Chains A and B, each alone.
Chain A
Amino acid sequence: MTQWRVRAQAHVGELRLAVDIAGDDAPLMLIGPNGSGKTTLLRVIMGLVPPTEATITVGDRTLVDTAAGIDRRVETRGVGYVPQGYGLFPNMTVLDNVAFGLSVRTRKLGLQQRHARARAALADMECAELAERMPEGLSGGEQQRVAVARALVTQPALLLFDEPLAALDAATRRSIRAFLATHLRQIGCPSIIVTHEPRDVLALDADVVVLGDGKVVQRGSLDTLRRDPTNAFVAEFVACLNEVAPPRDAQG
């Protein structure tokens, strides 16, 4: 079981981010209105946005501790990232996309070894047949699986998703949602998932952190959010769920 904690303050434009959240292997969903700091928080964790003050620990590794002068560089943090548009490298085949993390200077394996591991990662994501394709011709759902395989192949300590399902059509979204729900539990690595879709939360049965104006305004299970929404945003978020699906206990 990996414990992680992110305590961070950062100023980006108008936004003043100040959060303190912790978790373990269970996926954590991050919701909040536009501009509430969800993506900025991910970027602080990755090391792409410098915090004014922060301590970020994953397991027994300290990624950032501004007080102690520790600030690991992006490439040594071991934080996996699946961006909204998947960010596949358009100049490489799917196999080379996935093998990229095994070919960087600090972690360079032989060609055969990295291709074998990349193929295994693709097989884990049930898309081994895409290996020789170029990203250009892939569907959204296929790109999603490749992006997850690519992030997992380097065995990250923490996995970040930014709106993983936003770019998919409704049918693909349903199948990928179910797919992520089963796989994220198996991976055994903590994950933080930014979403605006209550159904994602429902499918993953995860804890939810609600951001508002750069701060954590509520944290809890979906049921907690439904029973006691802390503000209008949360109330609307869960209300729309009531319209589309029966409560969980009625399902089961």
Chain B
Amino acid sequence: MKQPASIFPALGLGRVLGAGLLLLLLLPVVALIASTSGADVAVGFAHPHFGSALRLSLTTSIVSLAIVVLTGTPLAWWMATSASRITRVVSVLVDLPVVIPPAVMGVGLLLTFGRQGLLGPPLGAAGIVVPFTEIAVVLAQVIVSGPFFVQAATNAFRKIEPDTLAVARTLGASPREAFLRIAVPVALPGLLAGASLSWARALGEFGATLLFAGNLPGKTQTMPLAIFAAMESDLRVAVVLSLLLVAIGTILLLALRLLPGLARGRAGRDTR
């Protein structure tokens, strides 16, 4: 059957240019997969830094995701529901880490938490060392990944019809009940999408981590840093680590597409 003609004008040259970008996006991934043999994968997995980098990446990124969700959800709710004009300023502030290069954020973090930094003296007096520790890794991840969650959550909360929450209140729900039983479930697809993006960003964090947490194998060397280190010693290890990150990213993207539908299908049941 013939497809109905599109009402949009076709772009002759534009199509070629668009296809060019698409190709450029795909080629590195194809190259990664094509250049790896089974033997390479075995060598990569066996490398002493592989396991520790994977473990450190997973634990720190999960901890930072938890921090981002716990602190970002109330912030997003406030930005979505407050009539105050301060929310506009805050919204710009929250986005700052997206436009500021991660390396710059790394320098900023050092100047904040370093021995000579803003908070250095009180932290030092309390015996707390932040730079070049796991705490630094987590802090760097929280800063660069937080905005992705907060913006997605704010948009998701904004889409809720305010009258639904008003009705919930008149039916006897406390503000907390209305939030947990109406606002969160209705915004859930957006919250999950934001959390996934945020987690992916934390997992891939490189610049701020390198400057603020260093590249110490087994301590602060996350997967992206291990790739950086492996490039100079054994490319195979770098490729295997890279492939693993590609796989995780792909799974996240697929989940992002599938989760909203699943969440919507399950949310309707009240069986408690």
- A residues contacting B by CB (< 8 A) are 43, 46-48, 73-77, 79-81, 83-93, 96, 99-101, 103-107, 111, 134, 147, 150-151, 154, 156
Stretch among B21-29, B141-149, B159-167, B243-251 lining the A interface: B159-167
Q: Which residues of B contact A87 (CB under 8 A)?
A: 161, 163-164, 166-167
Q: Which residues of B contact A100 (CB under 8 A)?
A: 168, 171, 173, 181
Given A81-B167, A87-B167, 11 new contacts (CB under 8 A): A46-B169, A48-B169, A87-B161, A87-B163, A88-B164, A91-B264, A91-B267, A93-B268, A105-B173, A106-B172, A111-B271
A119 to chain B, nearest CB (A): 13
A152 to chain B, nearest CB (A): 11
> Do the beta carbons of B164 and A90 come within 8 Å of each other?
yes
Of the listed residues B170, B185, B267, the one surrounded by the most CB atoms of chain A closer than 10 A to its CB is: B170
One digit per residue, 1 when the CB lies within 8 angstroms of any chain A CB and 0 when it does not, for chain B 178-220 equals 0001100110100000000000000000000000000000000
Interchain CA distance A46-B269 in the complex, whole Å: 28
Does residue B85 face the partner (Cβ distance < 8 Å to A)? no
Q: Which residues of B contact A103 (CB under 8 A)?
A: 270, 272
Residue of B nearest to A162 (CB): B163
> Do the beta carbons of B163 and A91 come within 8 Å of each other?
no
Q: Which residues of B contact A111 (CB under 8 A)?
A: 270-272
B73 to chain A, nearest CB (A): 17
Does residue B116 face the partner (Cβ distance < 8 Å to A)? no
Chosen A-B contacts, 29 in total, with CB atoms closer than 8 Å, are A46-B166, A48-B169, A74-B169, A75-B172, A76-B172, A77-B170, A80-B171, A81-B166, A81-B170, A83-B167, A87-B163, A87-B166, A89-B164, A89-B182, A90-B186, A91-B267, A92-B267, A92-B268, A93-B268, A96-B270, A100-B181, A101-B172, A105-B173, A105-B174, A111-B271, A134-B268, A150-B167, A151-B170, A154-B171
Mostly, the B contact residues are helix
> Do the beta carbons of B268 and A75 come within 8 Å of each other?
no
Residue of B nearest to A107 (CB): B172
Does residue B234 face the partner (Cβ distance < 8 Å to A)? no
Q: Which residues of A contact B161 (CB under 8 A)?
A: 85, 87, 90
A54 to chain B, nearest CB (A): 17
Given A46-B166, A154-B172: A89 touches B186 (CB 8 Å cut-off): yes
Interchain CA distance A239-B244 in the complex, whole Å: 74
Residue of A nearest to B272 (CB): A111
A188 to chain B, nearest CB (A): 19
Residue of A nearest to B187 (CB): A91
Interchain CA distance A79-B264 in the complex, whole Å: 30
> Do the beta carbons of B168 and A89 come within 8 Å of each other?
yes
Q: Which residues of B contact A134 (CB under 8 A)?
A: 268
Interchain CA distance A84-B162 in the complex, whole Å: 11
Interchain CA distance A232-B177 in the complex, whole Å: 46
B165 to chain A, nearest CB (A): 8
Interchain CA distance A89-B270 in the complex, whole Å: 12
Q: Which residues of A contact B185 (CB under 8 A)?
A: 91
A80 to chain B, nearest CB (A): 6
B229 to chain A, nearest CB (A): 47
Q: Nearest 9 CB-CB pairs, A to B?
A: A101-B171, A87-B163, A83-B163, A104-B172, A74-B169, A96-B270, A91-B185, A91-B267, A87-B167
Q: Which residues of B contact A91 (CB under 8 A)?
A: 182, 185-186, 188, 264, 267-268
> Do the beta carbons of A48 and B268 come within 8 Å of each other?
no
Q: Which residues of B contact A106 (CB under 8 A)?
A: 172, 174
Q: Which residues of B contact A79 (CB under 8 A)?
A: 170
Q: Which residues of A contact B167 (CB under 8 A)?
A: 81, 83, 87, 89, 147, 150-151
Q: Which residues of B contact A43 (CB under 8 A)?
A: 166
Given A91-B185, A92-B268, A96-B270: A150 touches B171 (CB 8 Å cut-off): yes
Q: Which residues of B contact A85 (CB under 8 A)?
A: 161, 163
Interchain CA distance A91-B263 in the complex, whole Å: 9
Interchain CA distance A104-B271 in the complex, whole Å: 14
Q: Which residues of B contact A156 (CB under 8 A)?
A: 170
Q: Which residues of B contact A92 (CB under 8 A)?
A: 267-268, 270
